[in-house]
Structure 1
Amino acid sequence: MHSNMIAAIITRRWQLAQGYHAVEVETKYRSKVPPFEDGAIVDLTPSHGCRAVRSHPLWHLPSREDAFVVGVRQASDAQAAHDADFMWNRGDEFYIGMPRNTEIAMDSNSRYILFSAGLGVTAIAGIAKRLAAAGKPFEIHNFARTLERTVFREELDSLSAYGQVHHRIGLKEEEIERATSFAVSPTHADSQIILSGPPLFMRQIERQAREWVYPSNIHKIVLGDKGVRR
Protein backbone atom coordinates (compact mmCIF):
# COMPACT_ATOMS: atom_id res chain seq x y z
CA MET A 1 0.00 0.00 0.00
CA HIS A 2 2.81 2.42 0.87
CA SER A 3 5.22 1.56 -1.92
CA ASN A 4 6.95 4.66 -3.32
CA MET A 5 5.79 6.67 -0.29
CA ILE A 6 7.90 8.23 2.47
CA ALA A 7 7.22 7.90 6.21
CA ALA A 8 6.66 11.32 7.79
CA ILE A 9 5.55 12.88 11.06
CA ILE A 10 3.91 16.19 12.02
CA THR A 11 6.31 18.28 14.10
CA ARG A 12 4.34 21.48 14.65
CA ARG A 13 1.20 23.40 13.69
CA TRP A 14 0.25 27.08 13.78
CA GLN A 15 -2.52 29.42 12.70
CA LEU A 16 -2.31 30.41 9.05
CA ALA A 17 -5.54 32.42 8.85
CA GLN A 18 -8.92 32.21 10.53
CA GLY A 19 -10.10 28.65 9.95
CA TYR A 20 -6.79 27.45 8.52
CA HIS A 21 -3.57 26.00 9.92
CA ALA A 22 -0.06 25.53 8.60
CA VAL A 23 1.36 22.10 9.41
CA GLU A 24 5.06 21.24 9.37
CA VAL A 25 5.71 17.72 8.10
CA GLU A 26 9.12 16.14 8.58
CA THR A 27 10.35 12.90 7.04
CA LYS A 28 10.55 10.29 9.78
CA TYR A 29 14.04 9.02 9.03
CA ARG A 30 15.53 12.36 7.95
CA SER A 31 15.34 11.31 4.32
CA LYS A 32 15.22 14.02 1.70
CA VAL A 33 11.89 15.09 0.26
CA PRO A 34 12.00 14.71 -3.54
CA PRO A 35 12.60 18.10 -5.25
CA PHE A 36 9.50 20.22 -5.77
CA GLU A 37 8.40 23.74 -6.58
CA ASP A 38 6.48 25.77 -4.00
CA GLY A 39 2.79 25.03 -4.50
CA ALA A 40 3.36 21.46 -5.73
CA ILE A 41 0.76 18.87 -4.70
CA VAL A 42 1.44 15.90 -2.44
CA ASP A 43 -0.75 12.99 -1.37
CA LEU A 44 -0.86 12.10 2.33
CA THR A 45 -2.32 9.00 3.97
CA PRO A 46 -2.30 8.12 7.70
CA SER A 47 0.16 5.42 8.74
CA HIS A 48 -2.20 3.59 11.12
CA GLY A 49 -3.94 1.52 8.46
CA CYS A 50 -6.53 4.01 7.24
CA ARG A 51 -6.66 4.01 3.44
CA ALA A 52 -7.97 7.57 3.06
CA VAL A 53 -5.81 9.83 0.86
CA ARG A 54 -5.79 13.61 0.65
CA SER A 55 -3.98 15.98 -1.69
CA HIS A 56 -2.43 19.18 -0.33
CA PRO A 57 -0.26 21.96 -1.74
CA LEU A 58 3.14 22.12 -0.06
CA TRP A 59 5.70 24.81 0.57
CA HIS A 60 9.45 24.74 1.22
CA LEU A 61 11.00 25.32 4.61
CA PRO A 62 14.19 27.39 4.31
CA SER A 63 17.35 25.28 4.62
CA ARG A 64 15.38 22.07 5.23
CA GLU A 65 15.50 19.15 2.80
CA ASP A 66 13.64 16.76 5.07
CA ALA A 67 10.55 18.85 5.81
CA PHE A 68 7.86 21.00 4.25
CA VAL A 69 4.68 22.88 5.17
CA VAL A 70 1.13 22.11 4.06
CA GLY A 71 -1.98 24.16 4.65
CA VAL A 72 -5.02 22.46 6.20
CA ARG A 73 -8.52 23.55 6.99
CA GLN A 74 -9.41 23.77 10.67
CA ALA A 75 -12.21 21.29 11.32
CA SER A 76 -15.30 22.14 13.33
CA ASP A 77 -16.18 19.88 16.25
CA ALA A 78 -18.66 17.96 14.09
CA GLN A 79 -16.12 17.56 11.30
CA ALA A 80 -13.43 16.49 13.75
CA ALA A 81 -15.62 13.70 15.10
CA HIS A 82 -16.30 12.51 11.55
CA ASP A 83 -12.73 12.97 10.34
CA ALA A 84 -10.55 11.56 13.12
CA ASP A 85 -7.98 10.19 10.63
CA PHE A 86 -6.82 13.70 9.71
CA MET A 87 -6.51 15.66 12.95
CA TRP A 88 -3.11 17.18 12.05
CA ASN A 89 -1.71 17.02 15.58
CA ARG A 90 1.95 17.03 16.52
CA GLY A 91 3.25 13.46 16.48
CA ASP A 92 0.69 12.16 13.96
CA GLU A 93 2.40 9.92 11.43
CA PHE A 94 1.70 9.81 7.71
CA TYR A 95 3.02 8.50 4.46
CA ILE A 96 3.62 11.03 1.71
CA GLY A 97 3.73 10.47 -2.02
CA MET A 98 5.90 12.07 -4.68
CA PRO A 99 5.27 15.84 -4.98
CA ARG A 100 3.65 16.80 -8.29
CA ASN A 101 4.50 20.14 -9.87
CA THR A 102 1.78 21.69 -12.00
CA GLU A 103 2.98 21.88 -15.59
CA ILE A 104 2.90 25.36 -17.09
CA ALA A 105 3.38 26.20 -20.75
CA MET A 106 5.79 29.15 -20.76
CA ASP A 107 4.50 30.85 -23.88
CA SER A 108 5.52 34.43 -24.63
CA ASN A 109 2.16 35.03 -26.33
CA SER A 110 -0.03 33.64 -23.55
CA ARG A 111 -1.98 35.59 -20.98
CA TYR A 112 -1.89 33.90 -17.57
CA ILE A 113 -5.05 34.25 -15.48
CA LEU A 114 -4.93 32.59 -12.07
CA PHE A 115 -7.90 31.98 -9.75
CA SER A 116 -7.81 30.78 -6.16
CA ALA A 117 -10.04 30.33 -3.13
CA GLY A 118 -9.38 28.79 0.27
CA LEU A 119 -6.25 26.66 0.43
CA GLY A 120 -6.06 26.69 -3.35
CA VAL A 121 -4.18 29.97 -3.00
CA THR A 122 -1.12 28.03 -1.77
CA ALA A 123 -0.88 26.19 -5.08
CA ILE A 124 -1.62 29.33 -7.11
CA ALA A 125 0.98 31.40 -5.22
CA GLY A 126 3.60 28.81 -6.12
CA ILE A 127 2.69 28.99 -9.80
CA ALA A 128 2.78 32.79 -9.69
CA LYS A 129 6.31 32.59 -8.24
CA ARG A 130 7.39 30.42 -11.16
CA LEU A 131 5.83 32.81 -13.68
CA ALA A 132 7.51 35.78 -11.99
CA ALA A 133 10.90 34.02 -12.10
CA ALA A 134 10.39 33.36 -15.82
CA GLY A 135 9.44 36.99 -16.49
CA LYS A 136 5.87 36.12 -17.51
CA PRO A 137 3.21 38.68 -16.52
CA PHE A 138 0.14 37.27 -14.80
CA GLU A 139 -2.98 38.25 -12.95
CA ILE A 140 -4.31 36.59 -9.80
CA HIS A 141 -7.90 36.71 -8.60
CA ASN A 142 -8.04 35.43 -5.03
CA PHE A 143 -11.38 34.97 -3.27
CA ALA A 144 -12.05 34.75 0.48
CA ARG A 145 -15.09 35.09 2.73
CA THR A 146 -13.46 37.63 5.03
CA LEU A 147 -10.14 39.41 5.36
CA GLU A 148 -9.31 37.28 8.40
CA ARG A 149 -9.85 34.08 6.36
CA THR A 150 -7.57 35.19 3.53
CA VAL A 151 -4.75 32.65 3.25
CA PHE A 152 -1.30 33.67 1.96
CA ARG A 153 -2.27 37.30 1.46
CA GLU A 154 1.23 38.63 2.19
CA GLU A 155 2.81 36.05 -0.13
CA LEU A 156 0.50 37.10 -2.96
CA ASP A 157 1.02 40.81 -2.33
CA SER A 158 4.79 40.29 -2.50
CA LEU A 159 4.31 39.22 -6.12
CA SER A 160 2.46 42.40 -7.15
CA ALA A 161 5.68 43.81 -8.65
CA TYR A 162 5.55 41.03 -11.26
CA GLY A 163 1.83 40.77 -11.98
CA GLN A 164 -1.63 41.97 -11.01
CA VAL A 165 -2.95 40.72 -7.66
CA HIS A 166 -6.65 41.13 -6.90
CA HIS A 167 -8.21 40.13 -3.58
CA ARG A 168 -11.97 39.57 -3.77
CA ILE A 169 -13.24 39.60 -0.20
CA GLY A 170 -16.74 38.85 1.08
CA LEU A 171 -18.49 38.55 -2.27
CA LYS A 172 -21.84 36.84 -2.58
CA GLU A 173 -22.27 33.91 -4.94
CA GLU A 174 -23.63 35.98 -7.81
CA GLU A 175 -20.90 38.59 -7.29
CA ILE A 176 -18.22 35.90 -7.50
CA GLU A 177 -19.72 34.66 -10.74
CA ARG A 178 -19.68 38.15 -12.21
CA ALA A 179 -16.11 38.79 -11.07
CA THR A 180 -14.76 35.55 -12.56
CA SER A 181 -16.71 36.05 -15.78
CA PHE A 182 -15.30 39.57 -16.15
CA ALA A 183 -11.77 38.29 -15.52
CA VAL A 184 -11.86 35.79 -18.41
CA SER A 185 -13.85 37.80 -20.93
CA PRO A 186 -12.71 38.75 -23.38
CA THR A 187 -9.41 36.92 -23.68
CA HIS A 188 -7.46 35.15 -26.42
CA ALA A 189 -7.97 31.46 -27.08
CA ASP A 190 -4.34 30.72 -26.18
CA SER A 191 -4.62 32.26 -22.70
CA GLN A 192 -3.74 29.95 -19.82
CA ILE A 193 -6.37 29.66 -17.09
CA ILE A 194 -5.07 28.08 -13.86
CA LEU A 195 -7.37 27.60 -10.87
CA SER A 196 -7.59 25.93 -7.49
CA GLY A 197 -10.30 26.03 -4.86
CA PRO A 198 -13.59 24.40 -3.87
CA PRO A 199 -15.18 22.15 -6.56
CA LEU A 200 -18.17 24.45 -7.25
CA PHE A 201 -15.85 27.45 -7.60
CA MET A 202 -13.69 25.61 -10.14
CA ARG A 203 -16.63 24.24 -12.13
CA GLN A 204 -18.02 27.75 -12.52
CA ILE A 205 -14.73 29.20 -13.77
CA GLU A 206 -14.12 26.25 -16.09
CA ARG A 207 -17.56 26.75 -17.65
CA GLN A 208 -16.89 30.46 -18.18
CA ALA A 209 -13.35 29.92 -19.48
CA ARG A 210 -14.47 27.34 -22.07
CA GLU A 211 -16.30 30.14 -23.87
CA TRP A 212 -12.98 31.88 -24.55
CA VAL A 213 -9.97 29.56 -24.42
CA TYR A 214 -8.97 26.12 -25.64
CA PRO A 215 -10.06 23.40 -23.18
CA SER A 216 -6.47 22.19 -22.97
CA ASN A 217 -5.49 25.62 -21.60
CA ILE A 218 -7.70 25.26 -18.52
CA HIS A 219 -5.71 23.76 -15.65
CA LYS A 220 -7.56 22.71 -12.49
CA ILE A 221 -5.54 21.90 -9.37
CA VAL A 222 -7.75 19.58 -7.33
CA LEU A 223 -7.15 19.34 -3.58
CA GLY A 224 -8.66 17.39 -0.71
CA ASP A 225 -10.04 13.87 -0.57
CA LYS A 226 -8.93 11.43 -3.23
CA GLY A 227 -10.95 8.55 -1.82
CA VAL A 228 -9.34 5.30 -0.77
CA ARG A 229 -5.85 4.14 -1.64
CA ARG A 230 -5.75 0.63 -3.11
Structure 2
Amino acid sequence: MNIALSAHGNAMIHQVNRSARLQVRVAAKTTEAQDIAGFELVDWSGEDLPAFTAGSHVDVFMANGLVRQYSLRNNPSERHRYRLGVLRDQQGAGGSIFMHDMLKSGDVIEISHPRNAFPLNEQASSSLLLAGGIGVTPILSMAHRLSALGQDFALHYCARNLDRMAFRAELETGPFKTQVHFHLDDGPPEQKLSIAELLQSSPKGTHLYVCGPRGFMDAVIGEAERSWPKETIHREYFGKIADVGSSDDRPFAVQIASTGQVFAVPAGESVVSVLGTNGIEIPVSCEQGICGTCVTRVLAGLPDHRDLYLTDAEHAANDLMTPCCSRALSEIVVLDL
Protein backbone atom coordinates (compact mmCIF):
# COMPACT_ATOMS: atom_id res chain seq x y z
CA MET A 1 0.00 0.00 0.00
CA ASN A 2 1.06 3.53 -0.56
CA ILE A 3 -0.42 4.97 2.66
CA ALA A 4 -3.57 3.58 4.00
CA LEU A 5 -6.16 6.30 3.88
CA SER A 6 -9.42 5.11 5.27
CA ALA A 7 -12.77 6.80 4.96
CA HIS A 8 -14.80 4.27 6.90
CA GLY A 9 -14.30 2.21 10.02
CA ASN A 10 -14.26 2.65 13.77
CA ALA A 11 -12.11 5.55 14.89
CA MET A 12 -9.06 4.64 16.89
CA ILE A 13 -8.15 7.25 19.48
CA HIS A 14 -4.50 8.12 19.20
CA GLN A 15 -3.78 7.76 22.90
CA VAL A 16 -4.57 4.03 22.82
CA ASN A 17 -1.70 1.58 22.25
CA ARG A 18 0.29 4.24 20.45
CA SER A 19 3.45 3.25 22.33
CA ALA A 20 3.16 -0.44 21.43
CA ARG A 21 5.55 -1.24 18.60
CA LEU A 22 6.78 -4.40 16.95
CA GLN A 23 10.35 -4.98 15.81
CA VAL A 24 10.40 -6.71 12.44
CA ARG A 25 13.05 -7.70 9.95
CA VAL A 26 12.77 -7.17 6.20
CA ALA A 27 12.97 -10.80 5.05
CA ALA A 28 12.58 -9.91 1.39
CA LYS A 29 12.31 -6.85 -0.83
CA THR A 30 11.07 -7.33 -4.38
CA THR A 31 10.12 -5.34 -7.47
CA GLU A 32 6.46 -6.03 -8.15
CA ALA A 33 5.77 -3.57 -10.97
CA GLN A 34 6.97 -0.22 -12.25
CA ASP A 35 7.51 2.00 -9.17
CA ILE A 36 6.02 -0.63 -6.84
CA ALA A 37 8.13 -2.53 -4.32
CA GLY A 38 7.05 -5.49 -2.23
CA PHE A 39 8.22 -6.05 1.35
CA GLU A 40 7.98 -9.18 3.48
CA LEU A 41 8.30 -8.49 7.19
CA VAL A 42 8.92 -11.12 9.88
CA ASP A 43 9.33 -10.91 13.64
CA TRP A 44 12.98 -10.10 14.34
CA SER A 45 13.20 -12.94 16.92
CA GLY A 46 11.38 -15.53 14.82
CA GLU A 47 8.11 -15.52 16.76
CA ASP A 48 4.64 -15.36 15.22
CA LEU A 49 3.32 -11.87 14.48
CA PRO A 50 0.02 -10.59 15.92
CA ALA A 51 -3.05 -11.79 14.06
CA PHE A 52 -4.75 -9.41 11.63
CA THR A 53 -7.97 -9.24 9.67
CA ALA A 54 -8.48 -8.57 5.97
CA GLY A 55 -8.25 -4.84 5.21
CA SER A 56 -5.78 -4.12 8.02
CA HIS A 57 -2.76 -1.84 7.85
CA VAL A 58 0.30 -1.11 9.98
CA ASP A 59 2.20 2.09 10.75
CA VAL A 60 5.82 1.97 9.64
CA PHE A 61 8.21 4.09 11.73
CA MET A 62 11.02 5.23 9.46
CA ALA A 63 14.58 6.22 10.28
CA ASN A 64 13.96 9.64 8.70
CA GLY A 65 11.30 10.37 11.35
CA LEU A 66 8.26 9.82 9.14
CA VAL A 67 5.39 7.50 9.98
CA ARG A 68 3.39 6.01 7.14
CA GLN A 69 0.60 3.44 6.90
CA TYR A 70 0.70 0.48 4.54
CA SER A 71 -1.91 -2.22 4.01
CA LEU A 72 -1.25 -5.88 4.68
CA ARG A 73 -1.86 -7.71 1.43
CA ASN A 74 -1.36 -11.33 2.45
CA ASN A 75 -3.69 -14.03 3.72
CA PRO A 76 -4.88 -13.17 7.26
CA SER A 77 -4.28 -16.79 8.25
CA GLU A 78 -0.53 -16.19 7.96
CA ARG A 79 1.13 -15.37 11.27
CA HIS A 80 4.76 -15.76 10.17
CA ARG A 81 4.86 -12.66 7.97
CA TYR A 82 3.30 -9.38 6.93
CA ARG A 83 3.44 -8.47 3.23
CA LEU A 84 3.29 -4.87 1.99
CA GLY A 85 3.20 -3.15 -1.39
CA VAL A 86 4.57 0.39 -1.67
CA LEU A 87 4.13 2.79 -4.60
CA ARG A 88 7.02 5.21 -5.09
CA ASP A 89 5.68 8.77 -4.96
CA GLN A 90 8.19 11.36 -6.15
CA GLN A 91 5.84 14.16 -5.11
CA GLY A 92 5.30 12.84 -1.60
CA ALA A 93 6.93 13.83 1.68
CA GLY A 94 9.56 11.11 1.48
CA GLY A 95 7.96 8.03 3.03
CA SER A 96 7.75 5.92 -0.09
CA ILE A 97 11.17 7.13 -1.27
CA PHE A 98 12.66 5.94 2.02
CA MET A 99 10.99 2.55 1.59
CA HIS A 100 12.23 2.21 -1.98
CA ASP A 101 15.73 3.67 -1.72
CA MET A 102 16.87 3.15 1.86
CA LEU A 103 15.15 0.06 3.25
CA LYS A 104 16.79 -3.22 2.29
CA SER A 105 16.59 -6.93 3.06
CA GLY A 106 17.93 -7.70 6.52
CA ASP A 107 17.06 -4.30 8.02
CA VAL A 108 15.17 -4.24 11.32
CA ILE A 109 12.44 -1.61 11.65
CA GLU A 110 9.57 -0.80 13.97
CA ILE A 111 5.90 -1.06 13.04
CA SER A 112 2.63 -0.77 14.92
CA HIS A 113 0.25 -3.59 15.68
CA PRO A 114 -2.22 -4.10 12.81
CA ARG A 115 -5.31 -1.88 12.78
CA ASN A 116 -8.38 -2.21 10.58
CA ALA A 117 -10.36 0.77 9.32
CA PHE A 118 -11.48 -1.07 6.18
CA PRO A 119 -13.09 -4.24 7.58
CA LEU A 120 -14.56 -7.03 5.52
CA ASN A 121 -18.13 -8.18 6.13
CA GLU A 122 -17.63 -11.92 6.12
CA GLN A 123 -21.36 -12.61 6.38
CA ALA A 124 -22.29 -10.86 3.10
CA SER A 125 -23.99 -13.09 0.53
CA SER A 126 -21.50 -11.87 -2.09
CA SER A 127 -18.68 -9.32 -2.35
CA LEU A 128 -17.40 -7.15 -5.19
CA LEU A 129 -13.77 -6.08 -4.86
CA LEU A 130 -12.58 -3.17 -7.04
CA ALA A 131 -8.95 -2.06 -7.04
CA GLY A 132 -7.16 0.72 -8.87
CA GLY A 133 -3.36 0.67 -9.04
CA ILE A 134 -1.68 0.23 -5.65
CA GLY A 135 -5.14 0.04 -4.09
CA VAL A 136 -5.00 -3.68 -4.80
CA THR A 137 -3.05 -4.31 -1.58
CA PRO A 138 -5.92 -4.51 0.95
CA ILE A 139 -8.16 -5.99 -1.75
CA LEU A 140 -5.72 -8.91 -2.13
CA SER A 141 -5.99 -9.73 1.55
CA MET A 142 -9.78 -9.65 1.29
CA ALA A 143 -9.70 -12.01 -1.69
CA HIS A 144 -7.53 -14.47 0.23
CA ARG A 145 -9.94 -14.41 3.15
CA LEU A 146 -13.12 -14.75 1.08
CA SER A 147 -11.55 -17.60 -0.88
CA ALA A 148 -10.63 -19.42 2.33
CA LEU A 149 -14.22 -19.00 3.57
CA GLY A 150 -15.64 -20.27 0.29
CA GLN A 151 -17.63 -17.06 -0.17
CA ASP A 152 -18.94 -15.72 -3.46
CA PHE A 153 -16.90 -12.77 -4.75
CA ALA A 154 -15.32 -11.18 -7.81
CA LEU A 155 -12.17 -9.05 -7.98
CA HIS A 156 -11.69 -6.40 -10.69
CA TYR A 157 -8.23 -4.84 -10.93
CA CYS A 158 -7.63 -1.70 -13.01
CA ALA A 159 -4.20 -0.34 -13.99
CA ARG A 160 -2.68 1.94 -16.61
CA ASN A 161 -0.80 -0.90 -18.30
CA LEU A 162 0.78 -4.29 -17.60
CA ASP A 163 4.02 -2.70 -16.38
CA ARG A 164 2.11 -1.03 -13.53
CA MET A 165 -0.03 -4.04 -12.57
CA ALA A 166 1.48 -5.29 -9.32
CA PHE A 167 1.13 -8.85 -8.00
CA ARG A 168 -0.19 -10.05 -11.33
CA ALA A 169 1.44 -13.48 -11.09
CA GLU A 170 -0.09 -14.06 -7.67
CA LEU A 171 -3.52 -13.10 -8.97
CA GLU A 172 -3.25 -15.23 -12.10
CA THR A 173 -2.10 -18.39 -10.33
CA GLY A 174 -3.68 -18.13 -6.87
CA PRO A 175 -6.60 -20.12 -5.47
CA PHE A 176 -9.11 -17.49 -6.62
CA LYS A 177 -7.68 -16.89 -10.12
CA THR A 178 -11.01 -17.61 -11.83
CA GLN A 179 -12.61 -14.77 -9.87
CA VAL A 180 -10.06 -12.15 -10.97
CA HIS A 181 -10.66 -9.77 -13.88
CA PHE A 182 -8.01 -7.39 -15.27
CA HIS A 183 -8.70 -4.01 -16.88
CA LEU A 184 -6.00 -1.90 -18.55
CA ASP A 185 -6.26 1.71 -19.66
CA ASP A 186 -4.31 0.86 -22.81
CA GLY A 187 -6.18 -2.40 -23.46
CA PRO A 188 -8.86 -3.12 -26.09
CA PRO A 189 -12.29 -1.49 -25.57
CA GLU A 190 -14.01 -4.77 -24.68
CA GLN A 191 -11.53 -5.35 -21.86
CA LYS A 192 -12.08 -2.01 -20.14
CA LEU A 193 -14.22 -1.79 -17.02
CA SER A 194 -17.78 -0.51 -17.30
CA ILE A 195 -18.53 0.53 -13.74
CA ALA A 196 -22.24 1.05 -14.34
CA GLU A 197 -22.75 -2.34 -15.99
CA LEU A 198 -20.76 -4.16 -13.33
CA LEU A 199 -22.69 -2.61 -10.46
CA GLN A 200 -26.05 -3.11 -12.13
CA SER A 201 -25.33 -6.79 -12.77
CA SER A 202 -24.22 -7.56 -9.21
CA PRO A 203 -26.59 -9.66 -7.09
CA LYS A 204 -28.78 -7.90 -4.57
CA GLY A 205 -27.11 -7.74 -1.17
CA THR A 206 -23.58 -7.62 -2.57
CA HIS A 207 -21.07 -5.60 -0.55
CA LEU A 208 -18.73 -3.34 -2.51
CA TYR A 209 -15.11 -2.69 -1.50
CA VAL A 210 -13.13 -0.13 -3.48
CA CYS A 211 -9.61 1.19 -3.07
CA GLY A 212 -7.33 3.20 -5.32
CA PRO A 213 -6.66 6.72 -6.65
CA ARG A 214 -9.17 9.46 -5.87
CA GLY A 215 -10.55 9.77 -9.41
CA PHE A 216 -11.12 6.02 -9.69
CA MET A 217 -12.83 5.87 -6.33
CA ASP A 218 -15.02 8.88 -6.99
CA ALA A 219 -16.26 7.27 -10.19
CA VAL A 220 -17.07 3.95 -8.51
CA ILE A 221 -18.61 5.41 -5.34
CA GLY A 222 -20.60 8.00 -7.29
CA GLU A 223 -22.14 5.31 -9.45
CA ALA A 224 -22.78 2.96 -6.53
CA GLU A 225 -24.54 5.61 -4.48
CA ARG A 226 -27.20 5.92 -7.18
CA SER A 227 -28.78 2.60 -6.22
CA TRP A 228 -26.73 0.66 -3.65
CA PRO A 229 -27.61 0.81 0.06
CA LYS A 230 -25.09 3.00 1.83
CA GLU A 231 -24.17 0.30 4.34
CA THR A 232 -22.96 -1.99 1.53
CA ILE A 233 -20.40 0.51 0.15
CA HIS A 234 -16.93 0.36 1.70
CA ARG A 235 -13.90 2.39 0.68
CA GLU A 236 -10.31 3.17 1.52
CA TYR A 237 -8.42 6.11 0.01
CA PHE A 238 -4.81 6.00 -1.15
CA GLY A 239 -2.45 8.85 -1.85
CA LYS A 240 -2.93 12.53 -1.26
CA ILE A 241 -6.38 14.04 -1.07
CA ALA A 242 -6.66 17.59 -2.31
CA ASP A 243 -9.23 20.03 -0.98
CA VAL A 244 -9.44 18.53 2.51
CA GLY A 245 -9.28 22.07 3.89
CA SER A 246 -11.42 25.05 3.08
CA SER A 247 -10.81 28.61 2.01
CA ASP A 248 -13.23 29.97 4.64
CA ASP A 249 -11.12 29.21 7.71
CA ARG A 250 -12.09 31.18 10.78
CA PRO A 251 -10.14 31.48 14.05
CA PHE A 252 -11.28 29.58 17.14
CA ALA A 253 -9.83 28.33 20.43
CA VAL A 254 -8.93 24.89 21.69
CA GLN A 255 -8.84 23.94 25.36
CA ILE A 256 -6.84 21.07 26.87
CA ALA A 257 -9.12 19.26 29.32
CA SER A 258 -6.37 17.97 31.62
CA THR A 259 -4.79 21.39 32.25
CA GLY A 260 -7.43 23.93 31.32
CA GLN A 261 -4.98 25.68 28.98
CA VAL A 262 -6.58 27.53 26.08
CA PHE A 263 -4.80 28.20 22.78
CA ALA A 264 -5.91 30.36 19.86
CA VAL A 265 -6.01 28.64 16.47
CA PRO A 266 -5.74 31.29 13.75
CA ALA A 267 -7.06 30.92 10.21
CA GLY A 268 -4.69 28.91 8.06
CA GLU A 269 -3.05 27.02 10.96
CA SER A 270 -4.05 23.59 12.25
CA VAL A 271 -4.79 22.50 15.80
CA VAL A 272 -1.89 20.05 15.60
CA SER A 273 0.49 22.83 14.58
CA VAL A 274 -0.64 25.22 17.33
CA LEU A 275 -0.46 22.58 20.05
CA GLY A 276 2.91 21.33 18.81
CA THR A 277 4.31 24.85 19.05
CA ASN A 278 3.20 24.88 22.67
CA GLY A 279 4.77 21.53 23.55
CA ILE A 280 1.66 19.35 23.18
CA GLU A 281 2.38 16.67 20.60
CA ILE A 282 -0.37 14.79 18.79
CA PRO A 283 0.86 11.88 16.63
CA VAL A 284 0.18 12.54 12.93
CA SER A 285 0.92 10.83 9.65
CA CYS A 286 -0.99 11.95 6.55
CA GLU A 287 -1.96 15.38 8.01
CA GLN A 288 -4.96 15.43 5.65
CA GLY A 289 -7.64 13.72 7.71
CA ILE A 290 -7.50 10.40 5.96
CA CYS A 291 -5.37 8.02 8.04
CA GLY A 292 -6.90 8.38 11.51
CA THR A 293 -3.59 8.61 13.38
CA CYS A 294 -4.49 11.87 15.13
CA VAL A 295 -8.16 11.18 15.99
CA THR A 296 -8.90 12.85 19.34
CA ARG A 297 -11.95 12.84 21.59
CA VAL A 298 -13.98 16.06 21.81
CA LEU A 299 -15.49 16.79 25.25
CA ALA A 300 -17.25 20.06 24.39
CA GLY A 301 -17.78 22.31 21.40
CA LEU A 302 -18.76 21.63 17.79
CA PRO A 303 -16.09 20.40 15.35
CA ASP A 304 -15.98 21.47 11.71
CA HIS A 305 -15.21 18.04 10.24
CA ARG A 306 -12.94 18.14 7.19
CA ASP A 307 -11.66 14.58 7.25
CA LEU A 308 -12.33 11.52 5.13
CA TYR A 309 -11.65 9.07 7.95
CA LEU A 310 -14.57 9.24 10.37
CA THR A 311 -17.90 7.78 9.34
CA ASP A 312 -21.02 9.88 8.81
CA ALA A 313 -22.35 8.60 12.15
CA GLU A 314 -19.13 9.62 13.90
CA HIS A 315 -19.32 13.06 12.30
CA ALA A 316 -22.89 13.44 13.51
CA ALA A 317 -21.94 12.42 17.06
CA ASN A 318 -19.34 15.23 17.17
CA ASP A 319 -17.33 13.56 19.94
CA LEU A 320 -14.27 12.85 17.77
CA MET A 321 -12.21 15.00 15.43
CA THR A 322 -9.03 14.94 13.37
CA PRO A 323 -7.01 17.93 14.62
CA CYS A 324 -4.59 17.73 11.71
CA CYS A 325 -7.18 19.31 9.39
CA SER A 326 -10.57 19.74 11.08
CA ARG A 327 -11.49 22.98 12.77
CA ALA A 328 -14.39 24.28 14.92
CA LEU A 329 -17.81 25.75 14.24
CA SER A 330 -18.07 26.84 17.87
CA GLU A 331 -15.88 29.49 19.46
CA ILE A 332 -13.99 26.82 21.40
CA VAL A 333 -13.55 23.04 21.43
CA VAL A 334 -12.36 21.08 24.44
CA LEU A 335 -10.10 18.13 23.65
CA ASP A 336 -9.54 15.08 25.82
CA LEU A 337 -5.79 15.66 26.15
TM range (shorter): 0.7 to 0.9
- Aligned residues of 2:146 and 2:153 also touching (Cα < 8 A): yes
Cα distance in structure 2, aligned partners of 1:205 and 1:69: 27
What SS does structure 1 have at the residue aligned with 2:150?
coil
- Aligned residues of 1:5 and 1:95 also touching (Cα < 8 A): yes
Runs (5+) with no aligned partner, structure 2: 1-14, 241-284, 288-292, 295-337
Identify the range of structure 1 (214-223 vs 150-159) with the bigger mean alpha-carbon deviation. 150-159
- How many residues are matched? 222
In the alignment, which residue of structure 2 is the partner of 1:137? 152
Identify the range of structure 1 (88-97 vs 148-157) with the bigger mean alpha-carbon deviation. 88-97
- Name the aligned partner's letter for residue 87 of structure 1: F
In the alignment, which residue of structure 2 is the partner of 1:220? 235
- Aligned residues of 1:15 and 1:22 also touching (Cα < 8 A): yes
Change in Cα spacing, 1:223 to 1:84, as seen in structure 2 (3 Å) is closer
Runs (5+) with no aligned partner, structure 1: none
Structure 1 residue 27, shift from structure 2 partner: 3.1
In the alignment, which residue of structure 2 is the partner of 1:87? 98
Q: Spell out, residue by residue over 1:181-227, the C-alpha distance to the aligned partner (whole angstroms, 9 max, x if none).
A: 22112445522111111122112211111122111101113445752
Identify the range of structure 1 (50-59 vs 17-26) with the bigger mean alpha-carbon deviation. 50-59
Q: Which has the higher contact order (CA 8 A, sep 6+)?
A: 1
Matching of residues 148-159 of structure 1 within 5 Å: 148-158=163-173
- Aligned residues of 2:183 and 2:192 also touching (Cα < 8 A): no
- Name the aligned partner's letter for residue 180 of structure 1: I
Identify the range of structure 1 (213-222 vs 95-104) with the bigger mean alpha-carbon deviation. 95-104
Matching of residues 1-230 of structure 1 within 5 Å: 2-37=18-53, 39-48=54-63, 50=65, 52-59=67-74, 65=80, 67-76=81-90, 79=91, 82-83=93-94, 87-88=98-99, 89-90=103-104, 91=107, 93-100=109-116, 102-107=119-124, 110-158=125-173, 163-171=178-186, 179-223=194-238, 226-227=285-286, 229-230=293-294
TM-score (norm 2): 0.55
Structure 1 residue 151, shift from structure 2 partner: 1.3
Cα distance in structure 2, aligned partners of 1:167 and 1:190: 24
In the alignment, which residue of structure 1 is the partner of 2:262? none
RMSD between superposed Cα atoms in Å: 3.5
- Name the aligned partner's letter for residue 98 of structure 2: M
- Name the aligned partner's letter for residue 67 of structure 2: A
Change in Cα spacing, 1:12 to 1:47, as seen in structure 2 (3 Å) is same
Change in Cα spacing, 1:96 to 1:186, as seen in structure 2 (3 Å) is same
- Aligned residues of 1:56 and 1:223 also touching (Cα < 8 A): no
Cα distance in structure 2, aligned partners of 1:28 and 1:128: 28
- Aligned residues of 1:57 and 1:223 also touching (Cα < 8 A): no
- Aligned residues of 2:75 and 2:141 also touching (Cα < 8 A): no
Cα distance in structure 1, aligned partners of 2:186 and 2:96: 33
Structure 1 residue 29, shift from structure 2 partner: 4.5
TM-score (norm 1): 0.77
Q: Spell out, residue by residue over 1:154-177, the C-alpha distance to the aligned partner (whole angstroms, 9 max, x if none).
A: 2222357675321001259xx999
Larger Rg: 2
